[in-house]
């Protein structure tokens, strides 16, 4: 088996809270990655259709305001309902070009009623099949004002050539037990998606790689003040307190020894392409394997509930 894998990190800005236009950008990136013979492309957290920046800029915790209600409604209207086919064109591209995809979306799932949204990480395999949808377990700080907490259903790994790939959203990567849930299923290529900025990626990427003796690919988005579309509800209020740069990227790759293969890339939009070799995993597992020879399951063991949570069970 060919042990190398060619990865594209798509560091880009969304067309903020515009589902259709952002899908167009994503599809163009997939086509470009395919032209470069990439076998996996990764996009940042909540890229489709964008991160809820307004919460920190407009008093997102204020109760019962027109501003918060109207922006939330706009956000939900531009979020992704997989069951209604919102990702079908992306899946078709994956199949046509035999490229696997990790994509951060705001999911509007029908199994939770269709009105709440979840920061979900979707894995689409090279056959164009959605194989897992991981809803972020614990939204962070002000994210909880607009994102619902997920469940363990998406704590899954997937075969990709010689690799076993899994992924987590943003600060979930700081949670030891979800990481362990993926390690224990054989993960050796860890995908960490972020809304952006090297303050998130510069430490944890290398730490996870060294802890797991796996490759770690961290992919972030970009967002500048001029990236907010003019049609955004309450745009003046959002821009009033917005800095020129909201997220600066910081996408990067660490090897199984915890050293940089690609150091954090800042302020650059486009594809960052890198080949990785599975044999490096085996080399570093020789002296440490957190769920293999350097574990004691007779002393400590993790229990994972992967049941998809729903409010109504119809029999």
Q: What is the pLDDT of residues 160-193, one digit of tens each?
A: 999 999 999 999 999 999 999 999 999 999 999 9
Q: What is the pLDDT of residue 51?
A: 98
Q: Is 268 a catalytic residue?
A: no
Average pLDDT score over residue span 41-46: 98
Q: Is the pLDDT reported for residue 145 higher than 90? A: yes
Active-site annotation holder among 39, 107, 161, 170: 170
Q: Is 83 a catalytic residue?
A: no
CA-CA distance, 110 to 83, in Å (whole number)? 7
Is the model's pTM score more than 0.95? Answer: yes
Q: Is 170 a catalytic residue?
A: yes
Q: What is the pLDDT of residue 313?
A: 87
CA-CA distance, 37 to 99, in Å (whole number)? 9
Average pLDDT score over residue span 110-123: 97
Q: Is the pLDDT reported for residue 93 higher than 80? A: yes
Task: Write the CATH number of the domain with boundaries 4-285.
Answer: 3.60.110.10
Q: Is the pLDDT reported for residue 1 higher than 70? A: no
Phi-psi region of 256 (alpha: psi -120 to 50; beta: other; left: phi over 0): alpha
Active-site annotation holder among 25, 39, 45, 211: 45
Phi-psi region of 35 (alpha: psi -120 to 50; beta: other; left: phi over 0): alpha
Domain spans of the chain, in order of start = 4-285
Active-site annotation holder among 91, 136, 172, 211: 136
């Amino acid at each position: 088996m060919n042990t190398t894998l060619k990865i594209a990190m798509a560091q880009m800005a969304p067309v903020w809270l515009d589902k259709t236009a952002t899908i167009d950008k994503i599809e163009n990136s997939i086509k470009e990655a395919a032209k470069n013979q990439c076998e996996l492309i990764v996009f940042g957290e909540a890229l489709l259709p964008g991160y809820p920046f307004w919460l920190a800029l407009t008093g997102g915790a204020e109760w019962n305001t027109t501003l918060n209600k109207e922006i939330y409604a706009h956000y939900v209207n531009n979020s992704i309902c997989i069951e209604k086919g919102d990702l079908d064109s992306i899946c078709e591209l994956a199949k046509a070009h035999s490229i696997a995809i990790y994509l951060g979306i705001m999911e509007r799932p029908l199994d939770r009623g269709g009105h709440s949204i979840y920061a979900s990480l979707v894995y689409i395999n090279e056959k164009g099949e959605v194989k897992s949808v991981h809803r972020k377990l614990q939204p962070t700080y002000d994210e909880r004002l607009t994102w619902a907490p997920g469940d363990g259903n998406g704590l899954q790994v997937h075969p990709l050539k010689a690799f076993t790939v899994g992924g987590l959203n943003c600060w979930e990567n700081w949670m030891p037990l979800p990481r362990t849930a993926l390690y224990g299923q054989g993960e050796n290529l860890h995908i960490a998606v972020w809304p952006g900025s090297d303050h998130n990626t510069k430490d944890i990427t290398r730490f996870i790689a060294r802890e797991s003796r796996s490759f770690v690919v961290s992919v972030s988005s970009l967002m500048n003040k001029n990236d907010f579309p003019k049609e955004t509800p309450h745009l003046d209020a959002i821009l009033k307190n917005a800095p020129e740069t909201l997220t600066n990227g910081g996408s990067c790759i660490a090897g199984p020894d915890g050293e940089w293969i690609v150091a954090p890339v800042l302020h650059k939009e486009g594809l960052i392409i890198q080949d990785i070799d599975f044999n490096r995993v085996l080399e570093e597992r020789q002296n440490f394997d957190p769920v293999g020879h350097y574990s004691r399951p007779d002393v400590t063991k993790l229990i994972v509930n992967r049941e998809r949570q729903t409010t109504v069970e119809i029999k």
